[in-house]
Structure 1
Amino acid sequence: MSFGLGDWISMIGQVMDRLPLTLALLFVSLFFAIVIGIIIAYIRLEKIPILHQLATIYLSFTRSTPLVVQLFLVYFGIPQLLLVFGIDINHWSRFVFVVITFSLHTGAYLSEVFRSSYLAVGKDQLEAAYSVGMTYLQALRRIMIPQAFRVALPNAGNHTIELLKDTALAFTIGMVDMMGQVLFIIGNNYGVGMFEIYVAIAIVYWVICIVIEAVISLIERSLMKKHASISH
């Protein structure tokens, strides 16, 4: 069985058909990961009793176990656990379970990024805001968060790229995203063109990562210009 340029282009088209699903997984998971990261960072910064200890356990578990294991625990474990209480969620879409897993996983890492970025700004900035009559919320909105965001952006961008690559694990529970489509094509072709299709999917992920890096870089330059303008 021969494998020509036309076959390669056809396979690229089939893979790209699943790009919207992969991007949906990326952006929906990233949104909830940011929310989780902010909440966990706040809990740890304020050292809220009980919640602080629970957050520490959550971070330790998330960073110490493989993502694929977490995905299986969520997909297979949560439905069985809830059945004990008479709640049946087996009819839920696989998309939901993947988003839950990726959000919790990435949120753990982003929480550390946000916490360290906030601490990097320094309490002297907060005290300076108080000295000119600002409230805590005003200081956060006008001084602390803008500066912390600028510090956090590079690492947050790196974790966004990591999340994109993590979406390739969604096929392990039966989701046909880009990686799932690749395996489907290889199975249909009985392994013919395996190398070519893996090269194709690698290039697709590479291009998306380049786009993400470019967007992050553009935002960084914009923030640096604004900061320089304000300082001036």
Structure 2
Amino acid sequence: MTAAGYLAVDSGGSGLRVAVGVPGRAPSAQRETREPVRTGARGIDPGHLMIQLAPLARELAARAGVTELGTAVIGAAGFATLGDALRAELPRALARELGVTRVALAADAVTAYAGALGTRPGAVLAGGTGLIAIGTDLTAWRRADGWGHLLGDCGGGAWIGRAGLEAALRAHDGRDGGSGPLLRCAEKRFGPVRELPGRLYPRTDRPAVLASFAPLVAECAAHDPVAAGI
């Protein structure tokens, strides 16, 4: 295959999913990372995104036999409220590093909708590390939640993990609503829970860390009513 291709990127709370292919065909090469793009005072960090994306895109293009990446489509979690730096800097960075001439930037919920329903009216529930419901009648859009791990994303992976850790800490303190099984899982996963704030709060990938506890909450749900309630 020797043709101009596309670069498709899903940037979520737990890392990147990247695909390369040619228009009209399924992606020829795909990979995932487990390092989420940093978010700081300027919102989503375009420099950190490019540090991860550029070498991966070149590798996938070589594997796919794509000689030119003419178009890049990027769906980024938090883009609607934290995407100003991406809008300002990412198109130039993609052109400089990868030769991309056309760029589409959108919230990951919008790209999820396009992937699921295309140009039809409807609604999509996009759940992963975060969670958002989005729908359109093709004249207007409506959304519910998607407010991030501190303010919402109710039912997403980070929310489940946080609720599980809260129940573990309640058990540690002897408060109502605690779960001994979740406390044991938390200490096995993270070490002594009294050290958990120091391990968690300084990190820039807190949603991914919280979401990493969600599978353990699901495992405990089979025999623990607190976990089942979560």
The interval holding the TM-score normalised by the smaller chain is under 0.3
What's the TM-score, normalizing by structure 2? 0.22
Bigger radius of gyration:
1
Structure richer in helix, relative to its length: 1
What's the TM-score, normalizing by structure 1? 0.22
